[in-house]
Structure 1
Amino acid sequence: MPTYYPVRRMGITLDEQNFILRRLAQLKVEGEVLDVGCGNSLIPIQLSKAWNRKIVALDIWDEFPLETAIKNAKEEGADVEFLKIERPTLKLPFPDSSFSFVYSVMFVYNLRKHEREALFTEIRRVLRDGGLFLLVDPVIVRRERTELKGFKEVSYREENALFYYLARKE
C-alpha cells in the first residue's frame, strides 16, 4: 500500500493535494513533463497515471524520503523518474529545451527571492519555445508571477486561497 503524508513545507493536507490534482488532471498536456518540488510525490504519481505519460519529478527531499516516493510510484504503476535538486542553486539537471510542460505546486513560495529568480531562469532554460509553466501557490504570494521574465500569461485564477498561473515561454 502506498504511503503518503502531508509535507510541512507544502502546508496543505492530502485532501487539498487531491483537489489540486483534480484541477491539474483536467489539463491537456503534450510532450515531456517536469514537476518541480513534488513534495510527497502524490501529484506526479497520480498525474502520470491520469495522463498515461512519464513525469520527471524533482525535490530537495528534505521532508519526504526519496525511497518512499520511488516505492509509491512502483506500487501505483506510475511512470515517474525522481531526481534531487540542491539548494541554494536549484540547478535543473537537464539540457536546454528538454520539456514541453513544467509545473510547481506549493514549492516556490518557500524559496528566498534569489532562489526563486534562479529557479525561474532554470525553468525557462529547460522549457521548449512555446512551452507552458504552471505555478500553483498561495494567493498571499501571487507577486511571484511578476518575477517570471520571458513568459507570457496564458491564464490566471484563484481558488481555495491558491493561485493557478499558467504562462507560455516566449
Structure 2
Amino acid sequence: MKKEEVGHHFLARLGKTRLRPGGKVATDWLIANGDFRKDKKVLEVACNMGTTAIEIAQQFCCQVIGIDLDEEALEKAQQNIKEHKVEELVQVQRANATKLPFEDNSFDIIINEAMLTMLPQEAKEKAIREYLRVLKPNGLLLTHDLLLNGDNREEVIAKLRDAINITVAPLNKQDWKETFLHCGFRNVETFSGEMSLLSPKGLIQDEGVLGAMKVVGNALKPENRDTFKKMFQTFNDPENQLGFIAVCSQK
C-alpha cells in the first residue's frame, strides 16, 4: 500500500465491495427501517461505488441520487449502474455533504454510511443539519458508522488512524444519539454490534465465498500483507473496542 493510500481505497483495490463497519447486516437493518417504496425519492451520501444505491433501486424501483467527492469511486459507480441496467433509476454526481446542491424538502430518505465517522464534530453537525434541510417533513435519515466502546478513546482512535491512514472521529452510542437529536432529528433508533468489515464471517456475508477468497488472496500478496495485517488486527480487536452503529432518525 502506498504511504498515502487510505484504508478504504486499499480494501477496494483488494476487491472489497462493501466498505462499511457493520457490513451487509447493518445496511440491511437500515433498509428494513427506511420505509422504502417506489414513490420515494432517495439520496445516498458518500455512495462510493454505488453498491447500496443499486440494491435499493433494484429492490424498490425508486429513484436514487448518489453523491460522493471521490471521482474514481463515482466513475466505478457509473460502470456498476450500467452493468446492472438501472440508469433510469440511479444517478450519481460529485457533491459535498456539508453543502448539498439540493433544494429544501427534496428527499424522503437519506442514507449515509461510513462517512460521518471521518468528520470532526463541527463538520458532522454541519452535514447532519444539511440532511435535515433537504429531507421532506417526517423524512428518514439512515446512517451507519464506527462505534467506540470502552474508555480508551484516544488510544483506540490513534491505532485506527494509523491503520487506515486517515483522520477519524468515531463516537460512543450516547454521543451519536445526542448528536442527531442536537441537530434537530427525533425518534432516534439505533442498532449496534461488533465490527465485521474484515472478520472472516463478515467477509463471507459481504462478499460471498468467492469474493472473500479474492480479497484474502490479494491481501496475502507481499506488497499488501503488512498493511492488511495491521488493519485486520485493528478491526478484529478481541476487546471489541470498535464496533458499528446503525441509526434511523426522523425529521
TM (norm. structure 2) is 0.57
- Residue 11 to residue 91, structure 1, CA distance change in 2 (3 Å): farther
**Using the alignment, how far apart are the partners of 1:9 and 1:68 within structure 2?**
12
SS at match of 1:65: helix
Q: Deviations over 1:71-94 (max 9, x none)?
A: 2101102221111124xx721110
- Residue 123 to residue 25, structure 1, CA distance change in 2 (3 Å): closer
Counterpart of 2:48 in structure 1 is 39
Residue 135 of structure 1: how far off its partner (Å): 1.3
**Using the alignment, how far apart are the partners of 1:135 and 1:33 within structure 2?**
13
Residue 102 of structure 1: how far off its partner (Å): 0.7
Runs of 4+ in 1 over 4 A off after TM superposition: 9-13
- Residue 144 to residue 154, structure 1, CA distance change in 2 (3 Å): closer
Counterpart of 2:249 in structure 1 is 167
Which segments of 5 or more consecutive residues in structure 2 lack a partner in the other structure?
1-6, 149-170, 195-242
Residues 1:29 and 2:32 are matched in the alignment = no
Counterpart of 1:117 in structure 2 is 125
* Percent identity (aligned): 22
Choose from 186, 193, 204 the match for 1:152: 186
1:1-150 mapped onto 2 (5 Å cutoff): 8=8, 13-14=16-17, 17-27=23-33, 28-30=35-37, 31-61=40-70, 64-78=72-86, 79-86=89-96, 90-140=98-148, 141=171, 142=173, 143-148=175-180, 149-150=183-184
- Residue 59 to residue 98, structure 1, CA distance change in 2 (3 Å): same
- Is the Cα contact below 8 Å between 1:156 and 1:163 reproduced in 2? yes
Q: Deviations over 1:16-36 (max 9, x none)?
A: 644444334434324211111
Q: Deviations over 1:13-56 (max 9, x none)?
A: 53664444433443432421111111222111111111111211
What's the C-alpha RMSD, in Å, of the aligned pairs? 2.5
Higher RCO, Cα 8 Å, sep 6+: 2
- Residue 26 to residue 102, structure 1, CA distance change in 2 (3 Å): same
**Using the alignment, how far apart are the partners of 2:106 and 2:134 within structure 1?**
5
Number of matched pairs: 160
SS at match of 2:75: helix
If each structure's helix is expressed as a fraction of its own residues, which one has the higher value?
A: 2
Bigger mean CA deviation after superposition, 159-168 or 139-148 = 139-148
TM (norm. structure 1) is 0.82
**Using the alignment, how far apart are the partners of 2:44 and 2:187 within structure 1?**
19
